[in-house]
Amino acid sequence: MKSSAVNVVLSTALVGKSLAATSGDFNALAMNVAGLPAIFNGNEVPGDKATNARTIGSKFAEYGYDIIHVQEDFNYHANIYETDNHKYRTATSGGVPFGSGLNTLANFDWIDYTRVKWDTCSDASSNDCLTPKGFTFMRLKVDDGVYVDCYNLHTDAGTEDGDETARNSNLAQVANYIDIWSTGNAVLVFGDTNSRYTRTADNITIYSSQNGLTDAWLQLVRNGVVPTEETLCDNPSATSYCETVDKLFYRGSALVNLQATSFEYASPKFLQSNGSILSDHNPILVNFTWSSGSSLRQSNFFGGPHGTWFSDVTTLGAKTGRKAATLSFSGANRLDSVGLTLSDGTALKHGGTGGTAATLTLGSTEYWTSAQLCQGQKDSQTRIFYIKATTSAGKTLESGTSTSDCTTFTAPTGWQIVGYLGQDGDEIDQLAFVYAPQ
Ligand SMILES: *[C@@H]1O[C@H](CO)[C@@H](O)[C@H](O)[C@H]1NC(C)=O
Ligand SMILES: *[C@@H]1O[C@H](CO)[C@@H](O)[C@H](O)[C@H]1NC(C)=O
Ligand SMILES: *[C@@H]1O[C@H](CO)[C@@H](O)[C@H](O)[C@H]1NC(C)=O
C-alpha cells in the first residue's frame, strides 16, 4: 500500500487554481481457508488443519495484503489469527454451527460493519444450512475521505436445482443490498461465489447488470468476454486463464476512481513447506490503483453506525456548476435534519421533520467551506447533536446542541461543500460532506 499527494496545477482560465489530487494503490485477497472441522470435511488438503491454519496466518503476515476476505474460517480461526499480524481484523462469529466463516483482515480501519445471513439455503447437495452462511459489509477507509464498500460472501454450494435456486437468491440478496447501502460509493465484492459463468441459473452477471460492477478476472484475463465453456483450475494453478468460483467484482464512484491492474491465483504463494496445498481453493489476488475524484470528493464520517444510508453523490454527479445557494438545518436537543438548495434550485434534505429550522442564503460568490459537527449518545447510540457551517465570507449557521465531542471538516483549498452522505432516521445518525471545486 502506498499513498501519494500530487499537486496538479491547472493553468486553464476556467479553473485557475491548484487542485490537490490524491492517489495510491492497494491489493485484495480472497481465500477460502477450508476451516470446517476435519471430521466434517477434510477438503482433500493434506496435513493437520490447525497446523495448516497457522501457516496460512503466517503467510498473511508475510505478504501483508491490504484487504483479506476469508471464507470457511470456522474452527481453526484462532490458529490463523495466532500467526497473522494485520492491524484490523473482525472478531469471529464462531465455529460450526454458530458462525458464518466470514472474516476480514486489513491494513485499513472501517466503519459500519454488518453481518447478514442468507434468506435462502439448500441442503440439496451439501450441508449449506448447517451454518448461518451469508455476507458481510464494511465501509473501508483507504485514506482520509477515501472509502470503499467491501462485501465478503460465501454462497450456497452444489449444482442440484435447490442449490442453484439458493445461490441465485444469495447473489441477488447482495446485489439488492448494494443498491440500498452503497448508492454513490465505490464497491468491492469478493469471496467464494460458488459460481461459474457456465452455471447460468446462478445469474452471476447480476453484479454487472444490476450494480455496474466489473469482474476483475473477466476484465484482465478474458478481455471482458463471458465464458460459455467451463475451464476448471488445477490447485495450485499455474495459469489465471482457468475459471474458479472465487471472484472479485468492483466499481469506482464519482468520489474515488478504482482500477484493477492485475489478477492472479495466489495459490503458489500459499503452499506447505513440502509443496502441498493449504486449501482446496486457489486464493485470488487483485491489485488496484485509486485516485480521488476530480469533480467530487468527501470528508470523513462522524457519528454512529445507525439509521439508513443516504448519499447526494449520484444527484451531484449528474450536474456541473454545483454550488450551495441556501443552507437549511433543523435541530433542538440534537440535529434533526440537514439540507441545502443548489444554485440550480435542486433541494437536498436528510433526516426527520422535527426541530427548529434555521436557514442561511449565500451570496453569488460565497461558498460553504467548513462545518463543525458534535456527536453524543441517545438511547445508547451515537448520533449527530450539532452542526455549525462557516462560509467563505465568514458567515455561520448552527443547529442542535453542542457537545464535548466535536470535529471540524474543511473543504480542500479551492473546493466547497455541496452535499451530504451518511445515515439517517428521525434524526441524523452519521454524516460526511461532499466537496466540489468552487
Ligand atoms: C506434506 O506434509 C503433509 C503433512 O503436513 C503430508 O500429509 C503430505 O503428504 C506432504 N506432502 C508431500 C507432497 O510430501
Ligand atoms: C439476473 O439479474 C438481473 C438483474 O437484477 C435480472 O433482471 C434477471 O431477471 C436475473 N435473471 C435470473 C435468471 O435470475
Ligand atoms: C501486486 O501487488 C503486490 C504488493 O504490492 C506485489 O508484490 C505484486 O507484484 C503485484 N502483482 C502484480 C502482478 O503486479
Would you kindly state where each structural domain of the chain is located, as residue ranges? 2-292, 297-437
| Nearest ligand 1 atom, CA 51 | 5
Q: Are 138 and 104 in contact (CB under 8 A)?
A: yes
State in Å: Cα 251 to ligand 3 middle. 20
Whether the predicted pLDDT of 317 surpasses 90: yes
Ligand at minimal distance from the CA of 205 is: 2
Q: Who wins on pLDDT, 162 or 130?
A: 162
| Nearest ligand 3 atom, CA 285 | 1
pLDDT score recorded for residue 207: 98
Ramachandran bin of 194, using left for φ above 0, alpha for ψ from -120 to 50, beta for the remaining angles: left
* Residues 396-408 pLDDT 10s: 999 999 999 999 9
Q: Are 294 and 24 in contact (CB under 8 A)?
A: no
Q: Supply the CATH classification number for the domain 297-437.
A: 2.100.10.30
Whether the predicted pLDDT of 56 surpasses 80: yes
pTM for the model stands at 0.94
Whether the predicted pLDDT of 44 surpasses 90: no
| Average pLDDT, rounded, for the chain | 94
State in Å: Cα 393 to ligand 1 middle. 72
Residue 383 C-alpha cell reads as 448520533
Mutate to test the pocket of ligand 2, among 170, 206, 208 (most ligand atoms within 8 A of CB): 206
pLDDT band at 127 (very low <50, low <70, confident <90, very high): confident
Supply the DSSP symbol for 154.
Answer: B
The Cα 339–Cα 330 span in angstroms is 9
**Homologous superfamily in CATH for domain 2-292:** Endonuclease/exonuclease/phosphatase (3.60.10.10)
| Nearest ligand 3 atom, CA 264 | 13
pLDDT score recorded for residue 20: 42
Instruction: Give ligand 1 pocket residues (Cβ under 6 A).
Output: 46-47, 272, 274-276
